[in-house]
Amino acid sequence: MHTQTESRSRNLCARRRGSRTSALLLSFTFACIPTSSAFATFHFMQIEQVVAGVDGDATAQAVQLRMRQPAQELVSRAKLIAWDANGANPVVLIDFASDVTQDELGANILAATERFSQYTTPAAEPDFVLTNPIPTSYLQAGSITFENDEGTLIVWRLSWGGDGYAGDTDGALTNDDDGEFGPAFPESLTTNGFVAVKLLIGASTESSSNAADYALTTGAAVFTNNAGDAFTLTTLQCPDDPENDADGDRICGDADNCPQVANFAQTDSDNDGAGDACDVCPNDANTSTDATVCDDDPGDDMPPDSGGGSDDDPAPDDMMGTNGDSVDSNGMDMPDSGDDPVDDNSNGSSTGGDSTGGSNDNGMGDGGEGATGCGSAGFIVVALPLLGLLRMGATARRARRGQSI
């Protein structure tokens, strides 16, 4: 049986909001205990600024946090999660693996994608690299939460997309007096230009609602890391590329696998360092600029068709002449048409008229013929060397017996 005092305490400090009741009940603990470093490890924190893309590049993203109280540096116990328009399908942007050094009121923590630094001046030095970017399908409407590792306490929430966002908007009482961060910021997250969604209130101020507390920056957004270094959004910067992305695909030339051909995806099917967009042999790991030497099916263990073909059939065109026959339907590793380089019918020509079914004169199957022929030419080819060997043997025997040759 609860006492009257306990009932008053619950009524004073615990309010149920949304489906995440357990998160609110846990935040009640911190709302009712005086602030001290023993409890203020990371629980007094804001999501101050978010950019979902810069100058059209959705891979350049950043999330900036700001401490609402001193001693909030122990973020290794927390993570950032993105949610879709229904507040479902969570994507962990980062599970912080370490803490930060600066812990005074208003200190920032910057987590960004690797590409982000190429769109700032000077080049950004984030405190953490985002493991995953915010999915582009979440940019129209969605939410980001900064919460504990257990997922039981949402410290701060930023939702966007106005009425298009239908998910939860609740969070901790430590940062919002009623635990309700909604309604959502009315606009979508943009990837164009150099603006970010930024918190308008001061560092020590509690949340009112995302709709009232956030706005787009009026100029190029400036992000700050934990050391206090500032980085301004700008066009793509390529300090190690003299041509500063000559093909305009937003990949600096020193890292671009096709520096002169736009290929944002950087697809390299054969993993030879040359992107498919500029690789004359996209399925053959070589660096040749001659398409006639491509081995389009490296797994067949046959040489490439340097005679002009690209079929890699069992009888490459450059191995059996230039007959242009790229099909070996009889399994003999010989071109099927009668223009092979062997004169099968003793007609003095290597390109015409060889029968594909009857006996011929080469002792080899041709077309549908069996593998052992009986033609006279085949007999001569085999018999003459044999007779020579027999004669040499007889001569040797006579020499041993002292007979004259």
In 3-state terms, what secondary structure has residue 224?
strand
Q: Which CATH architecture has domain 241-289?
A: Irregular (4.10)
The model's pLDDT over 358-381, given as tens digits with 9 standing for 90+, comes to 444 444 444 444 444 444 444 444
For residue 70, give the DSSP letter. Answer: S
Contact predicate 340/355, CB 8 Å: no
Q: Which amino acid makes up residue 195? A: V
Return the HEC string of 280-339.
CCCCCCCCCCCHHHCCCCHHHCCCCCCCCCCCCCCCCCCCCCCCCCCCCCCCCCCCCCCC
Are 73 and 43 in contact by the 8 Å Cβ rule? The answer is: no
Where does CATH 2.60.40.1260 sit in the chain?
4-233
- Return the half-sphere exposure (C-beta side, CA atoms, 13 A cut-off) of residue 405: 9
Specify the pLDDT at position 142: 98
Please tell me the pTM assigned to this model: 0.59
Rounded CA gap, 279 and 289, in Å? 8
CATH of domain 4-233: 2.60.40.1260
Q: Going by C-beta distance under 8 Å and a sequence separation of 6 or more, which residues neighbour residue 256?
A: 241, 245, 247, 249, 263, 266, 275
Q: Give residue 255's pLDDT.
A: 78
Q: How confident is the model at residue 55 (pLDDT cuts 50, 70, 90)?
A: very high
Q: Measuring CA to CA, which residue among 101, 112, 141, 11 is closest to residue 54?
A: 112
In the chain, CATH 4.10.1080.10 covers 241-289
Residue type, 130: L
Distance of CA 388 to the CA centre of its chain: 69
Residue reference for tokens 């010989």: 334
pLDDT at 26 over 80: no
- Residue 215: pLDDT above 90? yes
Tens digit of each residue's pLDDT (9 = 90 or more) over 171-182: 999 999 999 999
